Chain A
């Protein structure tokens, strides 16, 4: 089960609303490399993990991603306070606004709603852990792109924190993959060892 902790993992306090930034950053809420997909990917993949270290790693990182989803929600929420119809039109936020007003909705910045098609749960530890490492890198690039587009330090600081977390998770997943291959058949040189047939 899960127990809510009534605080963010890292503070979010944005003084100046900016709907354009919100429209970009919403991609890390419900886009293809966003936090919702990350959390569901790891929390779903964990069931077929054969080793306790990997059950723990996927549970823990999947849980942390839920905290990141909450931070992104807080950023988008705070960026869309007190908007005027004129600001909404000028910023290009009107295409989001017409469907969701200023509600926080899991969608990619392109407008494509969150989809499980952006993730896998393959039931095979090598396939899944390799996907997880790629997923962390893709999320890191998305944060790099956000940092290329956003100047406001109030927004950049929590985004920089989240970017760092992707790097740490990539490191831990790499260790998890190495640990998995070490524990599998020692003749399994090319790291193929189907979980299903074991």
Chain B
């Protein structure tokens, strides 16, 4: 997958996870929502691994140095898609 396609899938999966996360702040006992969250979480883990192998770390608490600093940054043209 190209960087753009992985990012697009990450955006989609993380959006679903985040929506469920906020929903569960006010519906903490909804187990169906929790199991849906777990499904997306699995997809997310695979995508994050695939992204990081090819394009460097996604999170500020992972590998420092050249791979973290590598362009593009999210606000650069082509940085977010």
Selected contact of A60 from candidates B21, B28, B60, CB within 8 Å: B21
Chain A residues numbered 52-94 whose CB sits less than 8 Å from any CB in chain B: 53, 56-57, 60-61, 64, 70, 73-74, 77-78, 81
Tell me if A98 is interfacial: C-beta within 8 Å of chain B. Answer: no
Interface string of B1-41 (1 = CB under 8 A from A): 00000011011001100110111011110000000000000
Contact size class for A? 20 to 34
Q: Within the complex, which residue of A60, A61, A74 is in contact with B75, where a contact is CB–CB below 8 Å?
A: A74
A11 in the interface (beta carbon within 8 A): yes
**Pair A8/B26 contact, Cβ less than 8 Å:** no
When distances are taken between beta carbons in the complex, the residues of chain B under 8 Å from A11 are: 7-8, 11, 80-81
One digit per residue, 1 when the CB lies within 8 angstroms of any chain A CB and 0 when it does not, for chain B 52-76 equals 0000011111000000100001110
Within 8 A of B (CB), among A158-198: 168-169, 172, 175-176, 179
Residue of A nearest to B27 (CB): A175
In the complex, which residues of chain A have a beta carbon less than 8 angstroms from the beta carbon of B7?
A: 7, 11
B interface, how many residues as a size bin? Answer: 20 to 34
- Looking at chain A's contact residues, the main secondary structure is helix
| Interface presence of A151 (CB below 8 A) | no
Complex-state Cα separation, A176 to B23, whole angstroms: 10
Separation of A64 and B14 alpha carbons in the complex (Å): 12
Q: Assess the B21–A6 pair: CB atoms within 8 A.
A: no
Q: State the CA gap A85–B74 with chains docked (Å).
A: 27
For the complex, give the distance between the alpha carbons of A175 and B15 in Å: 20
Q: Are A57 and B25 in contact (CB under 8 A)?
A: yes
Known contacts A4-B60, A73-B75, A74-B74, A10 near B11 by CB under 8 Å: yes
Do A74 and B19 touch (CB < 8 A)? no
* Residues 1 to 49 of chain A near chain B (Cβ within 8 Å): 3-14
Interchain CB contact under 8 A, A3 and B61? yes
C-alpha gap A78/B78 in the complex (Å): 11
Chain B hits for A172, CB < 8 A: 22-23, 25-26
Chain A 118-154 interface residues, beta-carbon cutoff 8 Å to B: none
Task: Please report the C-alpha to C-alpha distance between residue A10 and residue B11 in the assembled complex, in whole angstroms.
Answer: 6
* Shortest distance from the beta carbon of A5 to any chain B beta carbon, whole Å: 6
Chain A interface residues (CB < 8 Å from chain B):
3-14, 53, 56-57, 60-61, 64, 70, 73-74, 77-78, 81, 168-169, 172, 175-176, 179
